[in-house]
Amino acid sequence: MKVSLFVTCLVDQMWTSVGAGTVAVLRRVGCDVEFDNRQTCCGQPAFNTGYRDEARQVAQRFIRIFEESKADAIVSPSGSCTAMVHHYPELFAGDKEWEPRARAMATRTHELSAFLVRVLKIADVGASWSGKLTWHDACHGLRDLNLKNEPRTLIRNVRGVELVELENAEACCGFGGTFSVKYPEISVAILDQKIEAIERSGVHAVVSGDASCLMQIGGRLSRNRSKVRVMHLAELLASQSL
Amino acid sequence: MNQLSSETFDKNAKAALADVQLRGALRHATSLFGKRRLEAARSLNNWEELRTHARAVKDEVLLHLDRYLETFVANAEKRGAVVHWANDGTEANAIICKLARDRNARTIVKSKSMTTEETHLNDALEAAGLQVVETDLGEYIIQLAHETPSHIIAPAIHKTKRQVAELFTSTLGMPPTDDVAQLTRTARATLRDRFAAADMGVSGVNFGIAQTGTIVIVENEGNIRLTTSVPRIHVAVMGIEKVIPRLADLDLFLKLLPRSGTGQRLTTYQSFITGTKRNVDDEGPDELHIVILDNGRSRMLAHPVTRQSLACIRCGACLNACPVYQQIGGHAYGSVYPGPIGAVITPQLIGFEKTAQLPYASSLCGACREVCPVKIDIPQLLLHLRSEITSNGSKRNATERIAFKLWAKVMVSPALYNLSSLAGRLIQKVMPLAPAWTRERDLRPIEQQSFRSLWKTKLSHE
């Protein structure tokens, strides 16, 4: 299957190993991966802050670029950015030209774990990693894309991994995009509930499907000099350390 | 009086975060409510169906609200109720003050009603020289403390048991104790006398049934039953959105409301009030007045996206589920309705001028939407309001507006995108990029090599 990678601007700039991991996993399961280097952002920061004109400019460009791709699917290592693409029809509601194009784009765009489990019907990607870890349900993946079992299925099939559930796995980490800098104190207060649960659980690593949440969680763990590390699902699935 | 404004949300929130007792009380109460709600929802095997159905009923009502209201009013009047229409809170308060004055009513008992909080009825009654007593335990506590409710269904959720005990000792002369039963007994004894002496009872309305003209009010303490039956005059204040078509629809809402609010299968009391007493010898008030309030609601009704705001049945589940509310509580919002639903309806009720911070007081996590018994898409509404705020031409956001214009220019041009990523890499070597972020969190540095460069030099050749 031919896949076009939507790597997201955050991963492109801040966390390249997530992009590299995504490519490695997709290739391992037999996909032919392409990357269009004209891509930038999905428009979410503007959309979430209320700047719809700006969000539309960026979204239109996204649609134009990926429409040119002959790939069977567009795959992204982010529940949040995928959810944004799924919001495109709402962003272009009533626009005769763009709403249908937005709808078609949304249908073709998948988050990594959803693509592996729902589209390719793969539960085991042949990964291995030694240790105890927990899954943080990033909000947009969980509530916009309904990803609950898909990432867990993939993680349980990673050899050497013990998956521990947090009591507040589904609770927000407090990131929320511009929320985290508009209201940093509230953002960190929310985050600390997550951090407490993570530390109590005794895991070696926190895994999630969004680099943004992992920057939030990892930023606090690092400030606290915690031994717990953060890892993106793509990095875990790419790992073959055993 | 502890009156905070939404304009100072940021400051209010910081103060709340520093209040250890408040955060302890909130953590305990919101998690308990959340847990009970989940158990209660799971006790039914068709929870999702009920939510969908309830929303469909609400949507139907809102689509033909004028017709349902007319039917409700006609049927209520047929049974002897007097209906008053109020465009805004001032009108509603004036109607009620006039009713009290004309009928020589001096003392008024009130049962819990967010709608009368919205109109600030108590202030108006007191200004008119009337004595008004809140009879819901939580509201009574708030009234004694000269505060405002911090939760839609649990007005004193921000107070600890000890704080309530101290309040009762100082205001009611109760001997010091923190025995909850003793606290309740003290309030009950004081309030019983008030009921007996009251000339007028003011209540809210949970549901107005168009088919029968009945108003339905749910509660656990019995104070609503007393407020609406002991005094000679009963005034019920009802938002225009409270009407439902048929008595048969009530089953649905009585399954959803208590489960979502307190996690109960049913509240202890459900009062059904249809008109006035039939015979002079019957018990109950001589007069029933229903004040139907708009106060900005028809504005919400007019727009297809915001209309769903009026489906709210005021259960408070979104407050308990909201990570922001869980940390800062209701007062920080500085509005009558706090939490996610408050952030959505307050700007629509009173305008953006003083409330523009509220729609941004959310991480858009969607927990509110997940628990809402009538499936209101609160994140969608928050995003809609944010777009209204930015397109209102307000000068407050001038810097942000310019920043997003520049951002869009960068994001549609790979050359500018690469240039700014280079700039970011250089700048981060000499200064922190996001001070608001790094005060309490470390910031992951921008990678020395971007993914696109890695793809070009390495990954694409593998």
* φ/ψ of residue A218, rounded to 5: -65, -35
Residues A130 and A66 in one domain: no
The Cα A155–Cα A161 span in angstroms is 8
How many CB atoms are closer than 10 A to CB A121?
7
**A36 part of contact set with chain B, CB < 8 Å:** no
Which chain B residue's Cα is nearest to A138?
A: B365
Residue with tokens 């042949």: A126
| Closest Cβ opposite residue B365 in set A14, A176, A216 | A176
Number of folded domains in chain A? Answer: 2
- Grouping H, G, I as helix, E, B as strand and the rest as coil, residue A204 is coil
Q: Closest to B447 (Cβ–Cβ): which among A13, A38, A142?
A: A13
Residue-averaged pLDDT of chain A: 97
Q: H or E element: which one contains B138?
A: helix B137-144
**Between the CA of residue B204 and those of A161, B97, B112, B207, B378, what are the distances in Å?**
55, 16, 7, 9, 24
pLDDT of B462 reads 87
Rounded to whole angstroms, how far apart are CA atoms A235 and A77? 10
Say what the pLDDT of residue B434 is.
Answer: 79
Residue A50 class from Cβ within 10 Å (0-12 exposed, 13-18 middle, 19+ buried)?
buried
Q: How far is CA A216 from the centre of its chain?
A: 14
- The answer to whether A38 contacts B414, with C-beta atoms less than 8 Å apart, is yes
- Tell me the pTM: 0.96
- Note whether B365 contacts A143, CB cutoff 8 Å: yes
DSSP A116: I
Residues A141 and A223 in one domain: yes
pLDDT score, position B1: 37
Of B352, B415, B308, B374, nearest to A50 by C-alpha is B352
The alpha-carbon gap from B45 to the nearest alpha carbon of chain A, in Å, equals: 20
Amino acid symbol at A230: V
To the nearest whole angstrom, how far is the Cα of B339 from the nearest Cα of chain A? 14
In the prediction, which pLDDT does B282 show?
A: 86
- With beta carbons under 8 A apart, name residues in chain A contacting B449: 16
Report the relative pairing of strands B207-209 and B214-219 from DSSP bridges: antiparallel
Dihedral sign for Cα A164, A167, A171, A172, please: negative
Is A89 in the same domain as A156?
no
Domain B6-298 sits in CATH 3.30.413.10: no
SS3 labels along B162-203: HHHHHHHHHHHCCCCCCCHHHHHHHHHHHHHHHHHHCCEEEE
| Cβ burial, residue B91 (10 Å; 0-12/13-18/19+) | middle
Give the type of residue at A21.
Answer: G
What does the domain layout of chain B look like in residue ranges?
6-298, 413-461
pLDDT value for B393: 63
pLDDT digits (tens, 9 = 90+) for B81-129: 999 999 999 999 999 999 999 999 999 999 999 999 999 999 999 999 9
Q: Please report, for residues A34, A65, B184, B335, B399, the alpha-carbon distance to residue B459 in angstroms, rounded to integers and kept in the order given.
A: 10, 21, 70, 54, 39
Q: Which residue in the set B327, B454, B456 is minimally distant from A16, CB to CB?
A: B454
- Set of chain A residues whose Cβ sits within 8 Å of the Cβ of B388: 50
Question: Which uninterrupted H or E stretch holds B79?
Answer: none
Instruction: Say if the Cβ atoms of A43 and B411 lie within 8 Å.
Output: yes
- Asked whether residue A6 falls in the same domain as residue A107, the answer is yes
The residue of chain B nearest to residue A214, with distances taken between CA atoms, is B444
Cα B226 from chain centroid? Answer: 25
Chain B residues within 8 A of A216 when measuring between CB atoms? 441
* CB B151, CB B316: distance < 8 Å: yes
CB contact under 8 A, A185 and B424: no
Chain B residue with CA closest to A37: the answer is B452
**R_g over Cα of chain A:** 17
Structure confidence at residue B425 (pLDDT) = 84
Phi, psi of B372 (to 5 degrees): -60, 125
User: In the listed set A70, A100, A118, which residue is the last one of a domain according to the structure?
Assistant: A118
Model confidence band, residue A34 (pLDDT cutoffs 50, 70, 90): very high
What is the rounded distance in angstroms from the CA atom of residue A92 to the CA atom of residue B194? 58
Evaluate whether B344 touches B28 at the Cβ level (below 8 Å).
no
Q: Average pLDDT of A134-149? A: 98
CB B81 within 8 A of CB B205: no
Q: Measured between alpha carbons, how far is A19 from A22 in angstroms, rounded to an integer?
A: 5
B369 closest CB neighbour out of A143, A181, A220: A143
My answer on whether A114 and A14 are in the same domain is yes
State whether A146 and A201 are in the same domain: yes
- B405 interaction partners in chain A (CB closer than 8 Å): 54
Same domain flag for A93 and A145: no
Which residues in chain B are closer than 8 Å to A55, comparing Cβ atoms? 408
B38: left (phi over 0), alpha (psi -120 to 50) or beta: alpha
CATH number of the domain within which A108 lies: 3.40.50
Q: Determine whether A158 is exposed, middle or buried from the number of CB atoms within 10 Å of its CB (0-12, 13-18, 19+).
A: buried
CB-nearest partner of A218 from B417, B444, B456:
B444
Q: Encode pLDDT of B200-211 as tens digits.
A: 999 999 999 999
Could you say which residues of chain B have pLDDT below 50? Answer: 1-2
Mutate to test the interface with A, among B8, B20, B30, B365 (most CBs of A within 10 A): B365
Domain assignment of residue A99, given as a range: 2-118
CA–CA separation, B382 and B362 (whole Å): 8
Beta-carbon count within 10 A of B28 CB? 12
| Boundary-marking domain end, from A88, A118, A148 | A118
B261-294 in b/e burial notation, b at 16+ Cβ within 10 A?
A: bbbbeebeebbebbbbeeeeeeebbebbbbbbbb
Subunit contact A16:B449, Cβ cutoff 8 A: yes
Same-domain status, A6 and A100: yes
Q: Is the ipTM of this complex over 0.85?
A: yes
Among chain B residues, CA nearest to A80? B365
Measured in angstroms, the CA of A13 and the nearest CA of chain B are apart by 5
Tokens 């040119």 correspond to A68
Per-residue 3-state assignment (H helix, E strand, C coil) for B335-394: CCCCHHHHHHHHHHHHCCCCCCCHHHCCCCCCHHHHHCCCCCCHHHHHHHHHHHHHCCCC
Question: Which residue in chain A has the smallest CA separation from B386?
Answer: A50
Do A101 and A30 have their domain in common?
A: yes
Last residue of a domain, one of A84, A118, A152: A118
Helix (H, G, I), strand (E, B) or coil at A230: strand
Q: CB distance from A123 to chain B under 8 Å?
A: no
CB contact under 8 A, A16 and B400: no
At a CB cut-off of 8 Å and minimum separation 6, what does A148 contact? A137, A142
Residue with tokens 């006790």: B43
Q: How many residues does chain A have?
A: 242
